[in-house]
Structure 1
Amino acid sequence: MSSFASVPSASLSLQLAEEVLYDLPPLEGVFLHWYTHGATATTPGITSLLARREQMLGAATLSGASITLLYECATDCLRRLPVSVYSPWDSRPLHARLLRHGPSQRAAETQALLPPGVLVQKTISVTLGERLLLCTGVGTGSLTRLHLRDMAAALALPFRALKRCTINSSTHTPVETFAMQPGMVSPFLHPERAAHLSALVLLPWRERRDAKAREVAISLSLWESLALPVRCMRPLVRQYARRAYPQVRLIELGTADATRSFAEEDDGS
């Protein structure tokens, strides 16, 4: 049997964190309680569990506040989703949508760990001039120069700002900037902390192709994801951002309504 001393420290830390996670009561129980009694019916035990997750896993998990708000927003998005033909699988509640997988730090690695029919949510940070942006989308596609030009135009930045563009800059590390480990970065930031962003960008994806995949995996921790219909992605991000950091501008690329500000009155979508 190999000694822990022979394992690299980063791998050992992840291994120990995973052991801690699986020693804790699973999130299915929390989600089932909320499904039965409502998300506002949080018990002291649930509050304690979410706090323990956050304390023991740190940046390797979404905060308890983020998980709670994400549950509320995802439940609302599922309820609003039009269903032409009833399907028990497509209509399953959130406690039946949790996935478990190995840890990874890159979207392509995470995609390989997900079951067939589920796409990864890929999120990257972009420094454009002096602006820090968080860009998110469905699948492992890359950010293109056209995307960057559209972002610069939406922010009324001169195109020369593209020359000072950095993706996942070392100046803004995930842990320090977003309180998330690499591989965990997403728009689901802590709702009770300031989001130091100039904008959140929803990148375009091919709806027809991705509709075949049907679901997208939202990271809850390095080892857990929540599988939601791809069609929920845009309304979910809109609603979460509006409630968590309403002062941050949302830019939607590849849509008729290219930009949207949550400081303005929203239609509730």
Structure 2
Amino acid sequence: MPDMQVDNAHVRVEDHGAGDTVVVSSASDFGAYPAVLADEIPGVRVVTIQARGFGRSTHLAEPPEQGWLDQWGDDVLSVVRQLGIESFIYTGISHGGGIGWHLARRRPAGLRALVSVVGTPHDRRGDTTSSEGRRKMVAGRKDPKVVEEQFRLIGGRTDGAIRKALRDKVIAQLVDRTLAYSDEEGRVNQGMPFPEATTNDELAAILSTIDLPVLAIGGSRDGVISAESTLRVAQCVRRAKVVLFEDEGHFVAAERPERVVREFRTFLAELPELEATWAEGRR
């Protein structure tokens, strides 16, 4: 599929599989997930959108006036409209999950559900313009030692020789990709979802307004998205479902995508009942 025009920019769009269930995702780049959903779950079509600012999408010298997450959300909706997609599930990893939370808050027509993978809104500690790790990453983006150190902190601890070897492989790929960024790509700092919420109570109040089926998948060893952040969704978003793996960290979708796929498949089977419950609850 060729690049698609979205207002004054273009974004790279790829289409995987075919089926009536459409899954849409946006991020700076993609690994096995979410395209693997089209391979593993019959009837699922996956559309991936490379976020503006990265790769083959338009690069920006300055952040969008409305902020990165809302701009990326607008780009998702533009692609969905142009492709004639009437109904879709949004899924995203990390910052891609942040796009999903901004979409979920708007509840645009056609959005059936959100599946957030290690992407729940960060705990609040005052400054919401970025996590400390992201600031360090932007500042040290040309230094391989700094970049690797930050990815290891983000990933969190892991156990066993096999898992450690897999972690080393994933981090090496992430370091190579980051060092290859253009200066415009390397400066992108999307900040936290819902930056107007400066306390956890304010964040909880925003989450409580979200009104659609949500699955949040997290890892208790994640170095940037805490277990408490993931559990906050279960406490605040009505009828949300949360899966929290004790032995996973921030890179679960890259290291063990099959675990994410299993949870997605289960959620997809539950979705018609969830949607019926939502509709009844809104009467």
Larger radius of gyration: 1
Bigger relative CO (Cα 8 Å, ≥ 6 apart) = 1
TM-score normalised by structure 2 residue count: 0.28
TM-score normalised by structure 1 residue count: 0.29
